[in-house]
Amino acid sequence: MKSYDVLVIGAGHNGMAASIKLANSGRKVLLLENSSQPGGMASSKDICDGFKSPTLAHLINHLSSRSINELNLTKFGLETNNFIIPSISINSSGEHISVFNNYKSNSENLSSKDKENLERLIKRLTFQSSLLKRFLFDAPVNNNNITFSKKLKFLKTGLDLRLRGKEEFQEFFRMILMCVADVLEEEIDNDLLKGLLAFDGTLGINLGPRSPTSLMGLLYKISGEFNGQRGIQVLPKGGIKNLVDAFYKSAISSGVETIFNQEVESLILEDNKVVGVKTKNGQEYKANIVLSSVSPIKTFLKFIGPKRLDTGVLRELNSLRYKGNVSKLNLALDKVPTSEFLKPEQLKSRIVYAPSIDHIEENFNPSKYKELPKDPNLEVLFPSIIDETLSPKGSAIASIIVQNTPYDLKNGWEKSREQFCENILSKLELIFPNLKKSIISTQFLSPSDIEDQFNVPGGHWHHSELQIDRMYSLRPIFKFSNYNTPIENLYICGAGTHPGGGISGISGINSANQILLNHQ
Amino acid sequence: MKKDFLEKRSNYKQPLKVTPFYEKFLGEMTEGYWYDWSGYKAASIIQDQELEYFAIRSTCSVFDISPLIKYRITGKDTENFLNKLTVRNVSLQKVNTVQYTLWCDDSGNVLDDGTLFKFNAQDYRLCCQERHFPWLVDTSSGFDVKIVEESDIISGLSIQGPTSAAVLIKAGYKFIEKLKPFEMVQTDNQVLISRTGFTGDLGYEIFLPNNLSHSIWDQIWESGKNLGIKAIGFNALNIARIETGFIVANSDFITSEHAIRNNRTRNPDEIGMSWMVDMNKPFFNGKNAIADIRKNNKNRFVFAALEVDGKEPADGAIIYFNKKEEVGIVTAATWSPTAKKSIALASFKLPYGHKIQSNLWVEIYVLRELEYYKMMKKVTVVKAPFVKLKRRNITPPENR
């Protein structure tokens, strides 16, 4: 039997990122993936012939130049000039505003006062998020991982904040735990703009705009960048698939061996040390180190199992919140959609339907009681209008993210799915007439479908809630936040670990660094 | 529902509950010293502490152990579950025996100690001082077991002393003469008799359903009349247990759920229970932590038995090295009437009590007619037990 230095479970982008780093350091790496293709939640699949629809993730805004360089993505097919996507916030009567890079706006529908206040607010939030951003590429501090240089970094960050002046210093501590709605209402009048920012702050987590700490979501979004350009959202040339391919090609050329269609069932343990994995079909693979990039829930409770975990740890893991609330609707259209409110050029934007803060909050309310929103908030992207290679000429793909759709619906998804899709389409019809008629294929993925298709318990974007009680040192739990586990030589990475979800590759890189540090 | 609940929990009107044997002990009571044991009214002294102690060592004592917390654990995975919960290897325990054991939290600190009664591989009873239902249930995740708290439906008596076997045989339990220490027998009517106890003497513990409590008390009491039977309180038992070197949770060590301060918790090594910990088991709660502590020599304390010069008991005394440096504390102490010595159990800061065993002193304050006498007494670290009795282990027992 072949034996490897490191076995990585899951060929999502983080699993691939870690594999690349490890293979480049001379380790013999095996990457096991349960599906038939790489990419995990960033993968694409044709919904019908020739329509290359991004199954879940459809935009990139957390891929830093450091990740791109360390993983050699440019060398393996990631273009340097990609599509930068502006955002439009629209309501059902067609009124809209638009913003581009890092929420800059020259929209004529915004008052000059709003523009001024927006600029000031974003500048402040950008500063605040830049402080948090310093810690992205660090293995978080915990009892097993505290060094003088880490302490120094905290001290220096605190100092830099203080040196920014009394006002910024006070504002940071005043704002950091606030809800996004209160912050926006202090500064901005325009409902569409507030709706957009509140939507971005709450998308992907179980918080409404009026839930305390929801500003954190917006800070996380603003901390994003693409290849050095701060606050932009990008559709890579050739679609998300192109980016995933770049990850994969980089991994292959680094010497990573990849096996698809192998679902890991359990770890092989010797005393308290992992020595390999066993797959569902009984195959065994041996390795000195195992790195799991799948959800921590799955790694700990399925691969290791509650019987092998200390009760205290088990209690903490069982308290993780990992039920997703975002659904995805992918459409194949035989005609390019049009809108009387938006110019054709504007259809190349990310179009957000979140007309006001209250509208989002009203949609969040039923989700608390496991019910569906009546008029859900949407993020609509037509990737094939932006990049025409993604669908046959004259046709289009619509990629729609639907917010506040609980995983464990009271009435069950089977009963509600069709009517819910119908509601969404009728709403879209108001903005894009004839859209419904041009549908040739529909794919709807509720959180529970995402759970099944992508093997993520709860179908959560971030594997587990990315709220302030589960960030940095507390992600996924304090004891294991530096990518280690209670089992010797078993490590974790992925969205469930620091810094969280989004296609950044950071947790993969961090965990690989941690492995290299511990096993020189 | 609400009314039922309130009635069931009517102890809010009466601060302490009473055990099924309450009236029987009350009938013997002349002193009126009661204390709170797990929410039950329990006796410290029934008539006379010394006479009660000598009943343990010379005749036959009866102590009410009904307030013990009792869990019944049944199901397919019971043995595996208990192997995860406790530090000892449960698989090595024979059917119809009792095992003294303890269990730890994630950091390897002791949550409690207790006794494990094995009916068969799928049926155990766990007796302990503290309530642990949530911990047991959370630990059982992934195991096919059922955990039921039996504390309020099973009562118990501890019958200890040289004539205890004779009393029980006379009461009709002839089969107990075959019981070796730590063995047990269950009768047809769910009465469980084990050759166990907290005294280091010949003795038995009886667990029974509450409805049998009066008939069985009468049976035993009647049989014991000419064999010196005596109802006793905790104070007498406490002397006997110190003589044997047995420890009590939250008295000789602070259980990890009770400890508020970081350095007050203790791991098994620090309370002299290293021998219990089976590192060859694939896994148990706290194993990783204990392995780490042992590997990196992170033990902070050591538990020791002491003989104290003079005859004053050294309860709660501070232990000094060279009469100056504070190096430990006495957790339990008494004048031992059997060993005829002042004896103590103590917790030392390492390396004192372990590598450094000489030049250790206790500071004892004795109040005599409104004047304190302060004494520095030399202590010697010895090996427990202070009192070792042959009759404890002889099977069949003497004095039948």
A contacts of B282 (beta carbons < 8 Å)? 271
Task: Please identify every stretch of chain A with a pLDDT value under 50, giving residue numbers as ranges.
Answer: none
Note whether B106 contacts A307, CB cutoff 8 Å: no
Q: Using one digit for the tens of pLDDT, what is the confidence trace for A453-488?
A: 999 999 999 999 999 999 999 999 999 999 999 999
Provide φ and ψ at A161, rounded to 5°. -65, -45
Cα(B100)–Cα(B117) distance, integer angstroms: 9
Subunit contact A311:B142, Cβ cutoff 8 A: no
pLDDT confidence of B32, banded at 50, 70, 90?
confident
Read off φ and ψ for residue B366, nearest 5 degrees: -120, 130
Q: Which residues of B touch A (CB under 8 A)?
A: 80, 84, 105-107, 135, 138-139, 141-143, 282-283, 285-289, 291
- Tens of pLDDT, residue by residue over A293-334, are 999 999 999 999 999 999 999 999 999 999 999 999 999 999
Question: Are B283 and A308 inside 8 Å of each other by CB?
Answer: yes
Subunit contact A486:B288, Cβ cutoff 8 A: yes
Examine residue A486 and say whether the peptide bond preceding it is cis (omega within 30 degrees of 0): no
Nearest-CA distance A487 → chain B (Å): 9
Nearest alpha carbon to residue B379 among B340, B338, B330, B332: B330
What secondary structure does DSSP assign to A307-334, as a single string?
GGS-HHHHHHHHT-------EEEEEEES
Q: Supply the pLDDT for residue B398.
A: 82
Q: Which candidate, B82, B74, B67, B86, places its Cα nearest to that of B21?
A: B67
Identify the burial level of B383 via C-beta atoms within 10 angstroms of its C-beta, where 0-12 means exposed, 13-18 middle and 19 or more buried: exposed
Spans of all domains in chain B: 16-68+152-244, 262-382
CB pairs < 8 Å spanning A and B: 38
Share of chain A above pLDDT 90, in %: 88
Exposed, middle or buried: residue A123 (CB in 10 Å: 0-12, 13-18, 19+)?
Answer: exposed
Tell me the nearest-neighbour CA distance from B99 into chain A, angstroms.
22
What Å distances lie between residue B319 and B328, B332, B333, B359, CA to CA?
Answer: 5, 13, 13, 10
pLDDT tens digits along A200-216: 999 999 999 999 999 99
Interatomic CA distance for residues A496 and A507, integer angstroms: 9
Residue ranges of alpha helices (H) inside A64-111 are 65-70
Alpha-carbon span A341 to A85, nearest angstrom = 19
Contact A313 B286 (CB under 8 A): no
**Start-end of CATH 3.50.50.60 domains in chain A:** 3-44+62-79+236-321+461-518
Asked if B283 and A315 come within 8 Å (Cβ–Cβ), the reply is no
Chain B residues in contact with A312 by the CB 8 A cut-off are 105-107
Assembly ipTM = 0.88
Ordered alpha helix ranges (H), A432-494: 447-454
The answer to whether B174 touches B389, Cβ cutoff 8 Å, is no
For residue range A185-194, what is the model confidence (pLDDT) as tens digits?
Answer: 999 999 999 9
Using the beta-carbon criterion (under 8 Å), do B288 and A272 form an inter-chain contact? yes
In this prediction, residues B283-289 reach a mean pLDDT of: 95
State the nearest Cα–Cα gap between A311 and chain B, in angstroms.
5
**Residue B349's Cα: distance from chain center in Å?**
24
Judged on CB neighbours under 10 Å (0-12, 13-18, 19+), B78 is: buried
Q: Is B138 within 8 Å of A311 when comparing Cβ atoms?
A: yes
Tell which residue, A133, A157, A320, A127, has the closest CA to residue A220: A133
Residue among B143, B286, B291 whose CB faces A307 most closely:
B143
Check residue B6 and give its pLDDT: 63
Residue B1 in this model has a pLDDT that exceeds 70 = no
A282 token code pair: 């009984």
Q: Are B40 and B113 in contact (CB under 8 A)?
A: no
Q: Is residue B11 very low, low, confident or very high in pLDDT (cuts 50, 70, 90)?
A: low
CATH number of the structural domain B262-382: 2.40.30.110
In whole angstroms, what is the distance from residue A120 CA to residue A167 CA? 13
**Which tens digits make up the pLDDT trace of B69-88?**
999 999 999 999 999 999 99
Question: What does the mean pLDDT of chain B come to?
Answer: 93
CA gap B295, B287 in Å, rounded: 12
Q: What angle do CA B148, B153, B156 make, to 5 degrees?
A: 110
Mean pLDDT (whole number) for B107-120: 95
Shortest Cα distance, chain B CAs vs residue A514, angstroms: 20
Which of A307, A478, A487 is the mutation pick for testing B, counting most B CBs within 10 A?
A307
Cis peptide bond prior to B351, omega within 30° of 0: yes
Q: Which CATH number fits domain A3-44+62-79+236-321+461-518: 3.50.50.60, 3.40.50.300, 3.40.50.720, 2.40.160.60?
A: 3.50.50.60
For A486, name the nearest residue in chain B, comparing CA atoms only: B288
Residues of A in contact with B80 (CB under 8 A): 307
- Secondary element (H or E) of residue B83: helix B78-85
Burial class of residue B260 (count of CB atoms within 10 Å of its CB; 0-12, 13-18, 19+):
exposed
Structure tokens at B156: 């118990």
Contact B106 A306 (CB under 8 A): no
pLDDT in tens, A423-438: 999 999 999 998 999 9
Q: Note whether A311 contacts B139, CB cutoff 8 Å.
A: yes
* Distance (Å) from the alpha carbon of B141 to chain A's nearest alpha carbon: 6
Q: Which CATH architecture has domain B16-68+152-244?
A: 2-Layer Sandwich (3.30)
**Are the CB atoms for A390 and A239 separated by under 8 Å?**
yes
Comparing CB atoms, the residue among B106, B282, B291 nearest residue A310 is: B106
Q: Hey, are the CB atoms on A308 and B106 less than 8 Å from each other?
A: no
Question: Tens of pLDDT along B244-264?
Answer: 999 999 999 999 999 999 889
Q: Which residues contact residue A377 at a Cβ distance below 8 angstroms, ignoring those fewer than 6 apart?
A: A199, A352, A353, A354, A359, A360, A363, A402, A403, A404
CA distance B153 to chain A (A): 28
Closest CA to A485 of A296, A318, A354: A296
What pLDDT, on a 0 to 100 scale, did the predictor assign at position B91? 94
